[in-house]
Structure 1
Amino acid sequence: MVKSSPFLDVGLSLTSLLLNAAQLAVTPSPVAVAGTLDASQRLWGDICRLSGKDKGTRAFAQRVAERLDDRLRTVSSDADEQEIRGAATAVGALLREVSTDDAAVVEAVRHPEGLGSLLRRRAAPHRELVAASAEPFFDALLPAVAEEFARLAPGSPRFQEGALLQLLDGLDRIEEGLGDLQHGQDEIRAGIVGIHDRLNDFASIWPAAAPERIRFGSRPARAPHFITRGEQEAARRFVIDAAEPLTALTGMRGRGKSQLATTVAAHCEEAGWPLVAWMTASSREALVSALAELGQCLGVSTEDAHSPEVLAGRCLDRLRSTEVSDRLIVLDNIESFDDLRDLVPTGPGLRVLATTTRTQVPGHWQQVPVDVFNREQ
C-alpha cells in the first residue's frame, strides 16, 4: 500500500479553501466579489466541478500534497514523521479556520497573492501546538501553501492555467465513475483555445510575475572555510522560511555579521530570487545613492529626476507596486536607524536584512544578535 503524503491534510484543507473561494467567485453576493472578470469566473467554475465529488477532491488534494512534499524535502529538522504530521495538521487547521471565515475567503478571491500575509497573521496560536523540532516545517509550509493557492487561484498574478488544468484533467484517470467530472474536462479541452484568449485579456490587467533577475551591489564574497553558525540558521529562518519583512543582525564589529548576510544573499541568488541587492547603509546619503542606482536597474523613469532623492523615491514606489515575489535587499553597516527614515524598502514578498553595531533596533524589526566567534569558528 502506497504511503500517503504527510501533507495530505494540508492538501485537503487547501482544496476546501479553493472550493469555498470558487463558490463565491461563481455566485458572488453584492458585498463579496462583484466585478470578477468573466474569464476568471469561468476558471473558478472549473474548480467548482469538484464540489460534492469526494474521491475527486481527494485526488486533487493528494497531488497538491505531493507538490508540497517535494518543496519541503530540503527543510532541515530533527523532527520525526509524527511531529512533521503534527505540523501539517496545525497548518491544515489554520487553513480550515480561514476557509470558514467569509470575509477572509472574499479577500482570498479578490487578492489571492495576499493569502501568505493572512496566514502569518493568524499562525501564532496554531504554531504553539507544534513540537519545537517541527517548527521549521510549520514555518516553511505557510509560504508553500500560499504559493500553491496563488498558482491555482484564477485572479492571482501567479496563476498558472496549465497547473490547474493538469490537476483537473488527471482526475478522470485517477478515479473512475466521475462521469460528470469527465464531461467537464472534455469541455475544458475542447475550449482550451478560448480559455487562452480570455487569459490573454486577463494578463493585460495583471502582468505575469516573471521579473528579470537583478543582482545589485557588491556584496562580500563568502569566506572559503566559512562554518555554519547558529545565527545563520536564525537569519535564514526569519528571512527565507518566515518571510519576515525586516530582520537585523546586530553585534560589535568583527563578529561576522556581513559574512552571515552574504551567505543568506548567496542562498537567495542560488534559489533564483528575481531581486537580490546589497547596499551600504552607513549614512543616509549612501542609502539614497544606492536606492537611486537600483531604481535605474529596475527601469524607473529618470525624466525630471533632478536629484538622487527623487530617483530613490521612485525606486521605493516601484518596489512597493511590484507583484508579489521573493526579493531580498541587504542594508549593510547601519550606523543609525534614524538614517533609514522613509527609506526602508517594502513590497509584496520583499525582505530586508540589515547589519548594524546597534544593540537596540526598532520594535518592528526581527533581531538576531551575533555573538563572538568560538574557537572552532
Structure 2
Amino acid sequence: MLPASLPEPVLFRPGQGEPVLRWGILGTGWIAGEFAHAVQAHTAQKVAAVGSRSDERARQFAGQHGIDRAHGTEDALIEDPGVDVVYVASPPGEHLAQGLRAIAAGKHVLMEKPLATSAADARTLVAAARAAGVFLMEAMWSRYQPQALVIGELLRDGVLGDIRTVHADLGQAVAPDPHGRLFRPDLGGGALLDMGIYPIQLDSMVRGTPRSFVTSGGLTSTGVDAHAILLADHGTGEPSVLTTSLQTRTPAAALIAGSEARIEIATPFHVPGGFRLAPNDYLAETITWTDPTGITFFGGLSWEATALARYVGEGRQESPLHTHDETVSILATIDEARRQIGAR
C-alpha cells in the first residue's frame, strides 16, 4: 500500500547557514558556462574567477558571466588567493593532474564527473585530499536534485519492499569525430565514462556495488566504447539492466522495481523533473511527484554547489550522499565494463 503522502526531504536550498565560498572555474567549455549560470542564478555562492589555457577565452568567459577575474593559465586560477574552491570543468583525462594541483594549493575541489578516468586515479585524488584536509567531491549533480532526495527517503522507508531490479539507460547519437573529446582515449572518451556513469550511479545508489556483472558492447574506430549494456547481479532479485551509447539516442528512462511497488523516473532521468510511484497492482492508483522548485535542466547544477558549501561549513571532507568509497566503486565498475569489451 502506498503512503498517504510523500516525504519532504531537506533540500539544498541556499541561505540555510552554508558559508559563501569563492569559486574558481577551471575550463571555459559548455558545462562550465552552464555551471556558472546555475550558481549565479540559484545559489548564494560567489563565482570569483575563471581560468583557461587561453587568456582570450578566459576573458571572454568572464565577460559573458560577469566574473571579476580571468586567468590565462590553469596555475594562476589554482593559486588565486581569492578562490576557496575550484570547479574542474575540463575533459576527464586532465582531472587527475589538475585535481592534484588544486588540492596541493589547499583548495576544495568539485570535480566534474567522472572524478577520474579510472578507480586507481580516483583513489590517488581521494588520498591527496584526505592528507591535505580539503573537501573533494565528484560533481554527480543527480544525487543532489530534489527528486533524488525524495526517492532516497522512499527507499529508506521501505515503500518499494525488497528491491528486485533497476533499469536505466542514457544514450545520445553523437556524430563520429576522431578528434572530439568523446572519441579520444587520452581525454577519457567513451560512452561509459560520459553517459553510462549515470545509470551505473543510480543502480549504486539503490542497490550498492554489484556482486558481479557482464557487459556487452562495441567500440568506435578510435577504440573507446561506443555502446554498452551491463547486467549487474546484486545477489537478490533480478540483475539490473544499465545501458549507454554514443550511437543511439535512447529514452533516458529509469525504473526502480520492488516487491511492493515501483518508481518510474521522468525522462531524462538524470535531470530535475519528477517520478511516478506505483504499486504492483496494475489497476491501483499511483502517485506522481513533480519538482516544485522551478529549477529545471542545467539549473539543477546549482544543488551540488550549495551542497558542497553546506558540507564544507559542517567540516566534512566528503559528501555523505556520494562518498569517496562509492565514487571509487562506481569507477571500478566502469573499469571492469570497459575491460570486458576491450575499450581503450
Q: Shorter-chain TM-score category?
A: under 0.3
- Bigger relative contact order, structure 1 or 2, given CA contacts below 8 A and separation 6+? 2
- TM normalised by structure 1 equals 0.21
Structure number with the higher helix fraction is 1
Structure number with the higher strand fraction is 2
- TM normalised by structure 2 equals 0.22
